[in-house]
Amino acid sequence: MATYIGRRLLLLPVVAFGVTLLIFALLQFLAPEMRAAAFITNPNQLNALPAIIEKYGLNKPVHIQYYTWLREVFHGNMGWSQTARQPVAQAIGSFFPATLELTLYSFVPIMLIGVWLGTAAAVHRDRMIDHVSRVFSISFRSLPSFVWGLLILMFLYGRLNWFPPGRLSLEADLFVRSGQFRPYTHLMTVDALLNGQVWIFWDALRHLMGPVLTLTMISIALLVRITRSSMLEVLRQDYVRTARAKGLAESVVINVHARKNALIPVITLSSLTFVGLLGGVVITETIFNFPGIGRWGAFAAQQLDIPGVTGFAMFVAALTVLGNLAADILYAYFDPRVRLQ
């Protein structure tokens, strides 16, 4: 097990650098003038394009640019992100906690409701709950996230003024930066409780609701459908019939015998969902003006902020490797037939 994990961890830098190599190769298709555009904030600067290209070495061959970048990374410098207006490593450090918090708050309802609803739909196949869950999953999934996000924002903020965009309200924000508030974890709700400021906890929670609701709606559908079909398959197995035959209570048959085996594909999907959420939920974060890593990553890509995009891609690659590793370990736990070597 330890060797398996160790080997997978060794893979991590390889994948991360493979990703960066790919990005640099793709950049070869863009003219240096295009890559310099990230530094132009005003048409009055256009005459300075050649000097800017020279200064940042954008006209050098791509392998030289990659080498220069790599050398800096080995010295612990991932470069300057022109879109974040800060160094890349610092940008990841400052944007990630917000995304992590959003992910944690979304993942719990996604998993609980998703697995429960999927199981219920399978057990009560072709009954009311099955139809309702199907209708909801399909309708949640069939509209893009920005539609849901905007609808939620319009009603729950625009109409009811319950869940405003951003991360904190003005008063809470000013208190947090007043020096009386210590950021221990940079997860706002957790820090609020650690600081004994319950009102900030509620304020932060209020701001989390909109994006959490959006993410739950769009992520839950797949989970419900996968759980349902996996569950249906397991329920047809002989050992389930045996369990029923020997007179076990239906709840025990479903919850203990059947569900554990039905969860294997669900684990794959949920680890991917989790990593996907952690890697940043671009649209949702943008609509709710939530200061997470996805909003920045997308913006960096749009503006051709090369160090920004490369750093972001490395980070997401690392997350994906770790997420898959976690899924593998969970498989072994849920299914003793799977042995990690």
Partner 1 sequence: MSWIRQLTALLVATLVFALVGSTGVAQGQAVRNPDTLILVRFGDPESLDPAYAYDTASSEIFLWHVYETLIFFNGGSTGSFVPMLATEVPSVANGGISRDGKTYTFKIRPNVKFHDGTTMTAEDVKYSLLRFMFMDRDGGPSWILLSPILGVESTRDDKGNLDVSLFNKANQAITASGNTLTITLREPYAAFLSIMAQWSMVVNRRWAIAQGDWNGTAAGLRTLNNPAKPEDTKLFSQANGTGPFKLVQWDRQNRQAILERNDTYWRQPAKLRRVIYRVVEDFGPRRLMLQQGDADIVSVNRVEQTQVEGLPGVRIVDDLPQLVVTGIFMNLKIDVSGGNPDVGSGRLDGNGVPPDFFADVNVRRGIAYAFDYATAIRDCNRNKAAVNRGPIPKGMFGYNPNQPWYTTDRTRAEAAFREARGGQVWANGFKFTIAFNSGNTTRQCMAQVLKSNVEALNPKFKVDVRGVTWAQYLSLYRQSKLPMWIIGWAADYPDPDNFVTPFQHSKGTYGSAQGYNNPQVDKLIVDARNETDPAKRRAIYFQLMKIAYDDITTLYLQPTGFIVMRSWVRGWYNNPAFFGPYVYPMAKE
List residues near partner 1 by CB under 8 A.
30-31, 33-49, 51-52, 54-55, 80, 83-87, 94-95, 98, 128-129, 132, 150, 153-155, 157-161, 164-167, 170, 173, 177, 286-289, 291, 295, 299, 304
**Which one, of 261, 287, 39, lies nearest residue 146 by Cα?**
287
User: Judged by CB, which is closer to partner 1: 92, or 267?
Assistant: 92
Residue 231 CB, nearest distance to partner 1 (Å)?
18
Residue 282 CB, nearest distance to partner 1 (Å)?
11
Residue 94 CB, nearest distance to partner 1 (Å)?
4
Strand residues in the chain grouped as ranges (E): 80-81, 86-87
User: Judged by CB, which is closer to partner 1: 54, or 250?
Assistant: 54
How many CA atoms lie less than 13 Å away from 333 in the CB half-sphere? 8
Residue 286 CB, nearest distance to partner 1 (Å)?
6
- C-alpha gyration radius of the chain: 24
Residues 6+ apart with CB under 8 A from 280: 99, 292, 293, 294, 295, 296, 297, 298, 312, 316
DSSP 91-142: HHHHHHHHHHHHHHHHHHHHHHHHHHHHHHHHHTTTSHHHHHHHHHHHHHHH
User: Judged by CB, which is closer to partner 1: 142, or 161?
Assistant: 161
Residue 319 CB, nearest distance to partner 1 (Å)?
19
User: Judged by CB, which is closer to partner 1: 46, or 108?
Assistant: 46
User: Judged by CB, which is closer to partner 1: 39, or 315?
Assistant: 39
